Structure 1
Amino acid sequence: MDRIIDTIEAIAALFVGLVAADIFLSVLLRRFFSIQIPDSYDFGRMLLGILIFWGIAATSYRGTHITVDLVWAQANRRWKRVIDIFATLVLLFVVTVQTYTLFDKVRSTYVDHVLTFDLGLPTWPFFAVAWIGDVSAVVLIAIRTFRLIVHPEEMRESRPVSR
């Protein structure tokens, strides 16, 4: 399971690099050479969407997303575990529904043959990669739920300092 988790996190990091490179290259070419990459805006927009869904996958397992843990911080060890399990189950439900609806977006962009503006490339593969990131989030949240319930000792420190 740890290999799956690490792979998903590495893919998310790759997309961070791709988005940063796209933005940097676009600005550099436009500023100094007055050249615009065809479909740069479309690629940037779709890569950012991909990044968001893969980022959800990466942060969902670790529980390192921004949280406000006023009740959790005051609870004893047993109640902290109960709260973590409940919150993770809610997150699993929400992200599963989100994954289902995002698949509809992938399907509709494929069926409607939605293309980029300049090059006329199909957009559905970008939506499909984002959807795979969302599926990865569901898998990681399910692993997190399983570990919280059955093997809580396998969980690394799941909460940052409360903010």
Structure 2
Amino acid sequence: MTMHGFADRPDPGGSGNYIKFDGALAHIENAFNLAAAFSILALMLLAVAQVLGRLLLNIPIPGFIDITEQAMAIFAFAGVAYCQRVGGHIRMEIVLGQLSGRALWICELVGVLLVTFVVGLLVYGSWFHFERAWTFGDSTMDIGLETWPSKLIVPVALSLLFLRLLLQAYGYARLVANPEATPVGVPVIHDAAEAAKHEIEEAFGDEAAEGDRK
């Protein structure tokens, strides 16, 4: 069984600016992912209030559907760059799992470059959707919420993903040039035990991993 983990430990032979940019970008991705998590929690609480309001007082929350529709953009897009960073996305590894060394890194680089191109097109298109909503004052059907904030979230979140993909493309290109280098800032294929260890480090910090080793 193979699972995705990520490599982000400083490499003595790596570029200092590359590692610093990776760390700075990770902080922004964490903040976006936290916003996505809070939006899900807020919607769950709002749904509970909606159900209880209808059952007990027969008073539904005005614009519940409108609010839900607009909030969906946050939890659907805000966490995508974080997911890409930690290798949390789902993909087929029938071929990649059999490769190693420079051949693996070349395939990873080609895949990331293709995704970067597609995401770039999505950023371009989603920005125009936002621009139209801003220009024409688009609003929801029920309580007339402005739609431009939720439409702005999409190109902003995808731009963050675009930066992460560019960083990973550089990381893979670095490994293509030197397959013996330590992977930095790129997802790598791990078995279940290694993936679990990285998840513990991500959730609780390096102290937990250090204590586990002791």
Whether these two folds match at TM > 0.5 is yes
Contact 1:54 1:137 in 2 (8 A): no
Larger-gyration structure (1/2): 2
Measure the CA separation in 2 of the matches of 1:25 and 1:105. Answer: 28
After TM superposition, the score normalised by the length of structure 2 is: 0.67
1:122 paired residue number: 146
Mean Cα deviation higher: 149-158 or 110-119: 149-158
Contact 2:77 2:158 in 1 (8 A): yes
SS in 2 for 1:158: strand
Q: Structure 2 unaligned runs (5+)?
A: 1-20, 176-181, 193-214
Matched, 1:107 2:127: no
2:185 paired residue number: 155
Measure the CA separation in 1 of the matches of 2:60 and 2:189. Answer: 43
Q: Structure 1 unaligned runs (5+)?
A: none
Residue 83 of structure 1, CA deviation: 0.9
SS in 2 for 1:31: helix
1:32 paired residue number: 52
After TM superposition, the score normalised by the length of structure 1 is: 0.86
2:155 paired residue number: 131
Q: Identity of paired residues, percent?
A: 18
The Cα RMSD (Å) is 2.1
Measure the CA separation in 1 of the matches of 2:28 and 2:154. Answer: 16
2:3 paired residue number: none
2:35 paired residue number: 14
Measure the CA separation in 2 of the matches of 1:160 and 1:107. Answer: 42
Amino acid in structure 2 at the alignment position of 1:129: I
Indicate the structure with greater strand content: 2
Change (3 A) 1:48 1:158: farther
Amino acid in structure 2 at the alignment position of 1:31: V
Indicate the structure with greater helix content: 1
SS in 2 for 1:38: coil
Contact 1:64 1:159 in 2 (8 A): no
Residue 31 of structure 1, CA deviation: 2.2
Contact 1:85 1:149 in 2 (8 A): yes
Measure the CA separation in 2 of the matches of 1:53 and 1:130. Answer: 6
Alignment length (residue pairs): 161
2:206 paired residue number: none
C-alpha distance after superposition, 1:113-132 (max 9, x if no partner): 11123332311011112221
